[in-house]
Amino acid sequence: MSFRGIIPPVITPFHDDGSIDREGFVVMMEHLIGAGVHGIVIGGTTGEYYAQSRDERIGLLKLASTTAKGKIPLIAGVGAIRTEDCIDYALIARDLKFDGILIGSPYYAVPTQLELANHALAIDREAGLPIMLYNYPGRTGTHMDTEFLDRVGRSKNFCAIKESSGSINHLHALARDYPHIDLFCGMDDQALEFFAWGAKGWVCGAGNCLPEEHIALYNACAVEKDFEKGRKIMSALLPLMRALEQGGKFVQSIKFGCELAGLPAGPVRKPMRGLEDEQKRELEETIRTLKSVIASIENDSSRKRPQNVVAFNA
């Protein structure tokens, strides 16, 4: 399959005691489907998979599958240190009829490019599913460089990459030299640049709480090719994107944004801690402002759009 569009990695709502809020997870899934996103990642870093047991991760994959009922593409995050564990999650996702898997570098292990390629190819051989790579060296310690991409690119299943290195040079290389691997924005404050270079979509954590605003940018840039409008929308989003990428409280901020939207979120799991009151006040003002500005941009665009003209044959 070909991935495209706005694909949020869904949060995992927790109860106050730290247990998974399964009903809240279903609400989040239904919220995203109803908002019109183009796919959902289950078990991404925004979903705090790293703080969950194997049984919890598998339980969420199953719950997502039964909730979505084939209405939307689902991508399973299979991140783990051991190749065998990644394969295990990938096979479960295949059995649950997921549409693809998300593969990152094994964190802490810091493999070489050859070792990383062998890791990814081993998962591919076993699962046989469409793969979105996830390049986030800031979290994993390993950069998916050209040597790795040249090796895995020989398999048609490696069809997309979520690029989160922050390197504009690497963005250019991916767009120019690897057209067979669809480019997805994974660095939220660079979304406009990604779309300018032909990105097929955006895997966006804040899409959990602001799906319509993320879809607005995608439609402006990737569908309408109206980058003047896209710049206006991105300008409105930038204060939030900077806070997310540079504030050190990524998941906490997204979960608070969900709470503001009346969605279930709950606390983050340890060792992370929640936002301070001042951080919440600043985030609430930022979100309120960007929603108002983007709504105004969309309304202005709608008023300027020419009316359909119906032609009749003589």
309 vs 78: which has the higher pLDDT: 78
Cα–chain center distance at 112: 26
Domains in the chain, CATH or no CATH each: 5-303 (3.20.20.70)
pLDDT at 313: 41
- Rounded Cα–Cα distance for residues 231 and 192 (Å): 7
Token pair for 110: 């810091």
In the block, which residue shows the tokens 């050209």?
146
Sequential DSSP letters for 45-89? GGGTGGGS-HHHHHHHHHHHHHHHTTSS-EEEE---SSHHHHHHH
Residue whose C-alpha is closest to residue 169's, from 160, 161, 177, 159: 177
Token pair for 230: 């896209």
Residue whose C-alpha is closest to residue 131's, from 152, 108, 106, 110: 152
pLDDT at 303: 77
pLDDT at 307: 53
pLDDT at 310: 44
Sequential DSSP letters for the chain? ----EE--B----B-TTS-B-HHHHHHHHHHHHHHT-S-EEES-GGGTGGGS-HHHHHHHHHHHHHHHTTSS-EEEE---SSHHHHHHHHHHHHHTT-SEEEEEPPTTT---HHHHHHHHHHHHHHH---EEEEE-HHHHS----HHHHHHHTTSTTEEEEEE-S--HHHHHHHHHH-TTSEEEE-SGGGHHHHHHTT--EE--GGGGT-HHHHHHHHIIIIIS--HHHHHHHHHHHHHHHHHHHHSS-HHHHHHHHHHHTT----PPPTT-----HHHHHHHHHHHHHHHHHHHHHHHHHHHHSPPP------
Cβ contacts of residue 306 below 8 Å, gap of 6+? none
Fill in the amino acid letter for 271: P
Q: Which residues pair with 134 in a beta bridge?
A: 104, 162
pTM: 0.94
Please answer whether residues 206 and 256 qualify as being in contact, where contact means their C-beta atoms are separated by less than 8 angstroms. Answer: no
Average pLDDT over residues 251-280: 97
Per-residue pLDDT tens digits for 111-159: 999 999 999 999 999 999 999 999 999 999 999 999 999 999 999 999 9
Fill in the amino acid letter for 117: A
Q: How far apart are the first and last CA of the chain?
A: 44
The pLDDT confidence band at residue 44, using thresholds 50, 70 and 90, is: very high
Other beta carbons within 10 angstroms of residue 198's beta carbon come to: 14
pLDDT at 203: 98
Average pLDDT over residues 88-110: 97
Residue 170 scores a pLDDT above 70: yes
Integer CA distances (angstroms), 107 to 50, 110, 239, in order = 10, 7, 29
Please answer whether residues 190 and 208 qualify as being in contact, where contact means their C-beta atoms are separated by less than 8 angstroms. Answer: no
Q: What mean pLDDT is reported for the chain?
A: 95
Token pair for 274: 């929640």
